[in-house]
Amino acid sequence: MKINLNSPKYLVISLCIFISVFFVNNINSAEGGPCKDYGECDEFKYSLNDVESLQRGASTYINYCYGCHSLKYSRWNRVAEDLQIPEDIFFENLVFDKSIKPGDLMVGAMSEESVNWFGVAPPDLTLVSRYKGDDWIYSYLRAYYEDSSKQYGVNNLVYPGTAMPNVLLSLQGNQRLVCKDVPVIARNGGEKRDVSGNTIYQEKCGFLKVEDGTGKLSKEEFDDLIYDLTNFLVYVGEPIKATRERIGWYVVFYFLIFTALSSLLYREYHKDYNK
């Protein structure tokens, strides 16, 4: 078979290969851990170029999480620099231990013996977005509910029996599992109706609902807070990610232009053979 590399078919095939190689990476990173009783994890789309979101996430992390969870593979000054926070403002507002130097690793604020308080040592979270997935984290932090049978009075749908207390309870409010009447779905995917055309309802339990007025934030504000926090954990898991993705696009453009040029060149050379 004579392969004519000049034919548009080959150009299209090579384009498809470039594009699929590029997106396979995205498919992998969207794969979170299974969300157990929560069902499907909520989808999380990071935005690492949104520096303000990362700044808010870092601030929430240091105020609410850093007491238990270290980020021991990151350094304070690297985070300040990447998040475009001037070092003096960063140290004044977010670093509470004044003996810390800018180049120190973020080794956490927990003493050795307090690690035993929870039965499980709070893990380091530098790489948590890499091994659990961002969807999992985003769902986990929003899936606490009241359960008086547990040590801290709460349980979690995504991580049943978690040893972590609900540290954001005062912001989110008191979340409970409630039952709701939901339309019965027929086998064809539509709502089931009785003979007079009314939708048939059935009681289903296990829905999360926050008791009105018990939290400092509204549901949307709380979701935004967890969005920023998860976004920050994605950043910490791979600080170079935003740059890497930008360079990836340059490489794709380079290949496209290079393919076009080499195809023109090929055509030019080929003229000599066809004489």
Binding site for ligand HEC (CB under 6 A): 64-65, 67-69, 118, 120, 122-123, 125, 128, 132, 137, 140-141, 162-165, 167-168, 229
Smallest distance from the beta carbon of 230 to ligand HEC, in angstroms? 8
Measured between alpha carbons, how far is 5 from 19 in angstroms, rounded to an integer?
A: 19
Measured between alpha carbons, how far is 225 from 67 in angstroms, rounded to an integer?
A: 18
Q: Evaluate whether 203 touches 181 at the Cβ level (below 8 Å).
A: yes
**Residue closer to ligand HEC (CB basis): 85 or 162:** 162
Written as six digits, the tokens of 48 are: 């690492």
Smallest distance from the beta carbon of 81 to ligand HEC, in angstroms? 22
Smallest distance from the beta carbon of 62 to ligand HEC, in angstroms? 9
What residue has token string 């003229």? Answer: 271
**Residue closer to ligand HEC (CB basis): 56 or 132:** 132
**Residue closer to ligand HEC (CB basis): 216 or 256:** 216
**Residue closer to ligand HEC (CB basis): 168 or 210:** 168
Name, in order, each residue with C-beta under 8 angstroms of 39's C-beta and a sequence gap of 6 or more: none
Measured between alpha carbons, how far is 81 from 94 in angstroms, rounded to an integer?
A: 14
Smallest distance from the beta carbon of 86 to ligand HEC, in angstroms? 25
**Residue closer to ligand HEC (CB basis): 80 or 125:** 125
Smallest distance from the beta carbon of 41 to ligand HEC, in angstroms? 13
**Residue closer to ligand HEC (CB basis): 85 or 142:** 142
Measured between alpha carbons, how far is 204 from 256 in angstroms, rounded to an integer?
A: 53
Measured between alpha carbons, how far is 264 from 145 in angstroms, rounded to an integer?
A: 63
Nearest to 137, CA basis, from 209, 67, 229: 229
Measured between alpha carbons, how far is 258 from 274 in angstroms, rounded to an integer?
A: 24
Smallest distance from the beta carbon of 236 to ligand HEC, in angstroms? 11
**Residue closer to ligand HEC (CB basis): 38 or 140:** 140
Nearest to 257, CA basis, from 3, 11, 8: 11
Q: Which residue is nearest to ligand HEC (CB)?
A: 65
Distance, first Cα to last Cα, the chain: 22
Name, in order, each residue with C-beta under 8 angstroms of 167's C-beta and a sequence gap of 6 or more: 64, 65, 68
Smallest distance from the beta carbon of 185 to ligand HEC, in angstroms? 33
Measured between alpha carbons, how far is 111 from 120 in angstroms, rounded to an integer?
A: 14
